Chain A
Amino acid sequence: MCVDSGAKNVMYANVFPNQPHTSFSYLPDVNNLSIQINFRKNINISSFRYTILEDDKPIVVNQSIDREKLEDTNAGEDEELFSSTSLGIFSIKGKVITVLVYSIEKPQDIEKSVFYGKPIPKAEILAFSKRTETAKGVDYSWIKRPKRKTDLTFTEKDDQITIVKDKSAIDYLYYTSIIDKRTEKVIFQSTAWQYGGIVDKHEFIPHIDIDRSIFKKSGDYEIIIQPLIKWDNCLDCDISPQEIEKHVTRHTLSITLEEENYSKKELIIYGLIICAILGAIGGAFLTYIKKKEAKKLAQQYKEKEILGLQLSSVRSQLNPHFLFNALAGIQNLMNKNEIDNANKYLSKFARLTRNVLDDKERTSLTQERTLLDDYLQMEQLRFGFGYEIKTEENLDLDNIEIPSMLLQPVVENAVKHGIALKNTAGKIEIAFHKNGKNLILTVTDNGKGFDTAQKYGGLGLSLSKNRISLLNSIYKETPIVLDIHSNSNGTKISFTLTDWL
């Protein structure tokens, strides 16, 4: 490498941890750069290739060495003789020139020389994440885009903190240290970044995991992330500490330890005092709290259980009137000697009854459609009406689940109050479709309608309302909204399952 005569602050040939094949030169004040390559005499030069990149753009790719231009050079009197050639002169101001050299016999061993002509950016702390042990593994809480200072509380259950750095092409330059501000001692230092686990825009983001036990006491700690450049080991050095500070990221962590980690001696003294006091008051207090907690837990458990019971009792109601009329319908088929039809409807009846008895909380859209199909065909035995079940094409009917028997009472209502009297002119339309993340299920009939402000005559709608409010009290994030439109031309009832898909 040769630089122009005006250049100052040439920090050359820095090698970084875990990057044995990368040589990094920081040339903030250099305008033009001439790059020369030196080969040992015993090396087979014809097998070498080189690639040169300007920033990310390759300007020379897999070039072989022009052997005609090789010249003998040596660096000093006793130094060995090299075969050398120039790779060219490059304008470097504000750019990064990267040279990759490898032998086609060992294409994995790439010697990389980076000439950095831009100011090295300051590292940015993207986030902290605190890991907490839970009954089932661990949980993470995140502090994103922290300002200059972050307050953190560690409880006994918190076992690790992760520092997430912004991604750059030169992550390997930066190292992290943590200083206890009280004692000014460095309590942690790391030159390595971890990758994997944290991903942003399809890229692994550099981070380091730090065991929480390094923080022995509450107080302020400073995190410093800086480039591992030897600032004082350079040609024509003229860099002020203020200038260096421009590359250094400092962040204060104000740590509160919920359970203080005292030294042994302190522990014994405090321990004895606290034990004495706590022993006295604590005992009485603890029993009081325990009783209260247990009562509260039992209460919560009971409430959930009651909700569950109520749900299942609401779910499993199929109108007995329908059940026995359906059986009568089958009896009629038998007596008319329509044996195959009797068999067909008996199967449907069995499937319906099984569905109700199974009392599952969830059912797939396919199963719900079959159930409604069975039900409506049974009803068609009694009343001659038409019906249609429409499903949107891009709904995964087999795998989307809904609360079971959600539509059945409403469909039953449509048959009973809507169209039973209209006979063949009656029509019911059921539709499953989606709107963004919402699943919408509608039941439409062309019956005589009813006044939505009135109390509902049939059992169906009040059952549905009751069930929905119970479901919504358990599954708060995905409320089901019931919408009823009714006039003399018919009724349309829709269930919107919010954020369901």
Chain B
Amino acid sequence: MRVILVDDEISNLENLRTLLEKHCPQVNILATTQSVTEAVNAIEKQLPDLIFLDIQMGKQTGFDVLKSLPQRNFEVIFVTAYDQYGIQAVKFAALDYLLKPVDIDELKTAISKAEQKLAAQMPTAQLDFLLQQIKSPQPTINKIALPMQSEIRYIALADIIRCEADNTYTFFFLANNEKLLVSKSLKEYADLLKPNGFLRTHQSHLVNPDFVKSWLKEDGGVLLLTSGTKIPISKPNKEIVRQALQQI
């Protein structure tokens, strides 16, 4: 696999190179680059299969590299030091990322995932989706990529009525009555969607407040949705849900 590394700090580049050479022998590092321009030039010239892309690069970002390329026929693994701006958009696009310092096992997993995706010749629609999401000056995330068994669906947050846990899987209930099964836990989606106002009412339920019709007092508290579905509010979540609904 032909790889280019992009990071503005030389020690990070060196470290990643050492780890890849030691633990992922199938990787052939074509170039290591330290700025957006350098990266764009190298990628256009050498056409890699995969790039490791640091998100925060001085005043610029790894996203600028992607934006400057007319064609993006490669996989990307984002690398970042701390979960902040940017990584959120990457998560919403269901793209792969690593946190620094890089964990060897996570690195190996990420490489094998990228290999699978390359072998399957998955289109790079996820990258287009990511760039769309961060296009506006204030990055407002209004869609999410849901990896399904054989495809990736891009769903507007406003179309999600609610999510329900099914062990380590999550069901998404959409406004058009569709029901999607996604192989990630509800907790992961709760962490993603809570900053967008979604309410964790119960260990198995996450609800979009826009679809809440009323709070029924039966059985110690139930949310009636506009779809007619009733969603339980568990006791430990009652106070948080009450406060959130009051603020709206």
Q: B residues within 8 A CB of A134?
A: 214-215
User: Beyond A136-B245, A354-B83, is A396–B236 a contact (Cβ under 8 Å)?
Assistant: no
Question: Is B212 in contact with A401, judged by CB distance below 8 angstroms?
Answer: no
Q: B residues within 8 A CB of A68?
A: none
Question: Is B236 in contact with A350, judged by CB distance below 8 angstroms?
Answer: no
| Closest chain A residue to B185, Cβ basis | A398
* Per-residue B-contact encoding for A237-259, CB less than 8 Å = 1, 0 else: 00000000000000000000000
For residue A346, CB closer than 8 A to chain B, the reply is: yes
| Closest chain B residue to A398, Cβ basis | B185
For residue A478, CB closer than 8 A to chain B, the reply is: yes
Question: Is B235 in contact with A477, judged by CB distance below 8 angstroms?
Answer: yes
Question: Is B165 in contact with A141, judged by CB distance below 8 angstroms?
Answer: no
Q: B residues within 8 A CB of A478?
A: 235-236
Q: B residues within 8 A CB of A388?
A: none
In whole angstroms, what is the CA distance A478 to B203 when docked?
15
Question: Is A136 in contact with B212, judged by CB distance below 8 angstroms?
Answer: yes
User: Beyond A354-B99, A500-B236, is A400–B104 a contact (Cβ under 8 Å)?
Assistant: no
Question: Is A497 in contact with B186, judged by CB distance below 8 angstroms?
Answer: no
For residue A453, CB closer than 8 A to chain B, the reply is: no
Question: Is B213 in contact with A499, judged by CB distance below 8 angstroms?
Answer: no
Q: Nearest chain B CB to A400's CB is how many angstroms away? A: 5
Q: Nearest chain B CB to A366's CB is how many angstroms away? A: 7
Pick from B186, B212, B214: contact of A398, CB below 8 A: B186
For residue B151, CB closer than 8 A to chain A, the reply is: no
* Per-residue B-contact encoding for A445-488, CB less than 8 Å = 1, 0 else: 00000000000000000000000000000110110000000000
Q: A residues within 8 A CB of B235?
A: 477-478, 499-500
Question: Is B215 in contact with A139, judged by CB distance below 8 angstroms?
Answer: yes
* Per-residue A-contact encoding for B176-217, CB less than 8 Å = 1, 0 else: 000000000111000100000000100110000000111111
In whole angstroms, what is the CA distance A136 to B213 when docked?
8
Q: A residues within 8 A CB of B119?
A: none
For residue A343, CB closer than 8 A to chain B, the reply is: yes
Question: Is B217 in contact with A139, judged by CB distance below 8 angstroms?
Answer: yes
Question: Is A398 in contact with B167, judged by CB distance below 8 angstroms?
Answer: yes
For residue A203, CB closer than 8 A to chain B, the reply is: no
Q: B residues within 8 A CB of A343?
A: 19, 101, 103-104
Q: Interface size for chain A: under 10, 10 to 19, 20 to 34, or 35 or more residues? A: 35 or more
For residue B71, CB closer than 8 A to chain A, the reply is: no
Q: B residues within 8 A CB of A401?
A: 187, 200, 203, 236
For residue B239, CB closer than 8 A to chain A, the reply is: yes
* Per-residue B-contact encoding for A337-368, CB less than 8 Å = 1, 0 else: 00010011011001000100110100010110
For residue A140, CB closer than 8 A to chain B, the reply is: yes
In whole angstroms, what is the CA distance A347 to B217 when docked?
47
Q: Nearest chain B CB to A437's CB is how many angstroms away? A: 8
In whole angstroms, what is the CA distance A366 to B246 when docked?
31
For residue A204, CB closer than 8 A to chain B, the reply is: no
Pick from B103, B191, B246: contact of A136, CB below 8 A: B246
For residue A276, CB closer than 8 A to chain B, the reply is: no
Question: Is A347 in contact with B103, judged by CB distance below 8 angstroms?
Answer: yes
In whole angstroms, what is the CA distance A68 to B220 when docked?
64
* Per-residue A-contact encoding for B59-84, CB less than 8 Å = 1, 0 else: 00000000000000000000000110
For residue A187, CB closer than 8 A to chain B, the reply is: no
Pick from B105, B204, B214, B246: contact of A139, CB below 8 A: B214
Q: Nearest chain B CB to A347's CB is how many angstroms away? A: 4
In whole angstroms, what is the CA distance A474 to B186 when docked?
25
Q: A residues within 8 A CB of B239?
A: 474-475, 477
Question: Is B238 in contact with A399, judged by CB distance below 8 angstroms?
Answer: no
For residue A138, CB closer than 8 A to chain B, the reply is: yes
For residue B248, CB closer than 8 A to chain A, the reply is: yes
For residue A137, CB closer than 8 A to chain B, the reply is: yes
In whole angstroms, what is the CA distance A358 to B246 when docked?
26
For residue A135, CB closer than 8 A to chain B, the reply is: yes
| Closest chain A residue to B202, Cβ basis | A399
Q: Nearest chain B CB to A158's CB is how many angstroms away? A: 14
| Closest chain A residue to B243, Cβ basis | A304
For residue B168, CB closer than 8 A to chain A, the reply is: yes
In whole angstroms, what is the CA distance A364 to B167 when docked?
13
Question: Is A398 in contact with B168, judged by CB distance below 8 angstroms?
Answer: yes
Question: Is B101 in contact with A140, judged by CB distance below 8 angstroms?
Answer: no
Question: Is B214 in contact with A347, judged by CB distance below 8 angstroms?
Answer: no
Question: Is B104 in contact with A344, judged by CB distance below 8 angstroms?
Answer: yes
For residue A142, CB closer than 8 A to chain B, the reply is: yes
User: Beyond A350-B99, A398-B168, is A142–B217 a contact (Cβ under 8 Å)?
Assistant: yes
Question: Is A346 in contact with B187, judged by CB distance below 8 angstroms?
Answer: no
User: Beyond A136-B245, A401-B187, A475-B236, is A396–B101 a contact (Cβ under 8 Å)?
Assistant: no
In whole angstroms, what is the CA distance A358 to B84 when docked?
10
Question: Is B83 in contact with A340, judged by CB distance below 8 angstroms?
Answer: no
Q: Nearest chain A CB to B100's CB is how many angstroms away? A: 8
Q: A residues within 8 A CB of B214?
A: 134, 136-140
Pick from B187, B212, B217, B246: contact of A140, CB below 8 A: B217
User: Beyond A141-B217, A477-B238, A478-B235, is A396–B99 a contact (Cβ under 8 Å)?
Assistant: no
Q: Nearest chain A CB to B224's CB is how many angstroms away? A: 8
The residue among A138, A347, A354 with the most chain B CB atoms within 10 A of its own CB is: A347
> CB within 8 Å of A: which of B27-80?
none
In whole angstroms, what is the CA distance A396 to B166 when docked?
10
> CB within 8 Å of A: which of B75-107?
82-83, 99-106
Cβ contacts A to B, 6 pairs, < 8 Å = A134-B214, A136-B245, A138-B214, A343-B101, A350-B100, A399-B203
Known contacts A136-B212, A139-B217; 5 further A-B pairs (Cβ under 8 A): A135-B246, A136-B246, A396-B167, A399-B165, A478-B235
